[in-house]
Copies of this chain bind each other. A is one copy, B any other.
Amino acid sequence: MGEVVVVRNKQVILKDYVNGYMKPSDLVVTSDTTIPLELPKNDGGLILSKNLYLSCDPYMRNRMNEAVAGSYITSFTPGLPISGYGVARVLDSTHTNFKKGDLIWGFVNWEEYSLITDTKSLIKIQHIDDIPFSYYTGILGMAGLTAYVGFYDICSPKKGDFVFVSAASGAVGQLVGQFAKLFGCYVVGSAGSKEKVDLLKNKFGFDEAFNYKEEQDLDIALKRYFPNGIDIYFENVGGKMLDEVLSNMRIQGRIAVCGMISQYNLDRVEGIYNLHLLIFKRIRMQGFLVFDHYHLYPKFLDMIVPLIQEGKIAYVEDIVEGLENAPTALAGLYTGKNVGKQVVAVTRE
């Protein structure tokens, strides 16, 4: 038996539970620990991975809160690396479904190398022409499936519907808008900068887009783009925007509640005052989590891959290089610094 190589393992550690806005300094990047680059052969079902791409997702902020009883999300543990969806290369495996050299996506720690004991979430991925592997952190991963389920199932779209998407240049929003256009809807998106608004109109083919930060009155903005009201609202932000959308919804409208990123960093969330309109307008408002819809993933892939290859769906990533830049990248998500899907490239193969 040869000597086992042991290396330093760079990690992104949560210092402590976070209050208010997450700052890059709430995370610390260290190389204090080491990891052997080979698995013990007598333990079955393990994977040793070299992590390539990490996904920055809005819901991660909720995992930085101290756990409360009955919570529906598992908190990160201070002092340990945070985790999330990612793409990795199998360096070693004692798991029958995976072998050395395989490319996988699923839940991985924010670190260079991982010893993965809980392999339930892992899916083996194949090379597909014209598809970068980083796409599995987004369009071919949870963001893609979220947009797919959220739009086609939760929104119950009809051709000609007036669709509004908030945080529309984000990983999910950009796809929802394009799905809605392909479906024959009229689509307007909101985002937080001129660059993003240009992207929505010129790259993703939204009919209209606006910068919510430049609107003094969101009600007036919505009435400008939806003089006859909104049939479908794909909710990514919450707060004030939701309240103004409620008063601009049409009868029998549908609201798919995917996220409320504007609220995750607030100590006290904003109140919503227009819910009585659910009655008079007979609105259906439905929250959903992609985890309930994993079984649709193969069907989703069959649809999305040709659309990407034929250039019918555009996808924009915002990739930072190296774990050193991971804290800033993740914190930037909550202030809207990213343009497109925020990804951390741990290393380039």
Spell out A's residues near B (CB within 8 Å). 71-73, 238, 242, 251, 257-260, 263, 268-273, 275-289, 292
User: Chain B residues near A287 (CB, 8 Å)?
Assistant: 277-284
Is A275 a contact partner of B238 (Cβ separation < 8 A)?
yes
With beta carbons under 8 angstroms apart, the residue of B259, B282, B285, B289 that contacts A289 is: B282
A278 contacts B289, C-beta separation under 8 Å: no
Copies in the complex: 2
A277: B residues at CB distance < 8 A:
72, 287
- The residue in chain B whose Cβ has the minimal distance to the Cβ of A242 is B275
Secondary structure of the A contact surface, majority rule: loop
Chain A to chain B: the 3 pairs with minimum beta-carbon distance, closest first: A271-B271, A278-B287, A72-B280
Bound form: Cα–Cα A242–B273 in Å: 12
Q: Does B285 lie within 8 Å of A260, measured CB to CB?
A: no
A-B contacts, 23 listed (Cβ < 8 Å): A71-B280, A72-B277, A73-B280, A238-B275, A238-B276, A257-B278, A258-B279, A259-B279, A263-B276, A269-B276, A270-B273, A271-B272, A271-B273, A272-B273, A278-B285, A278-B286, A278-B287, A282-B286, A282-B288, A282-B292, A284-B285, A284-B287, A285-B285
Give the shortest distance, in Å, between A273 (CB) and chain B (any CB): 5
Residue pair A285, B286 in contact (C-beta under 8 Å): yes
Are A72 and B251 also in contact (CB < 8 A) when A286-B283, A287-B278 are? yes
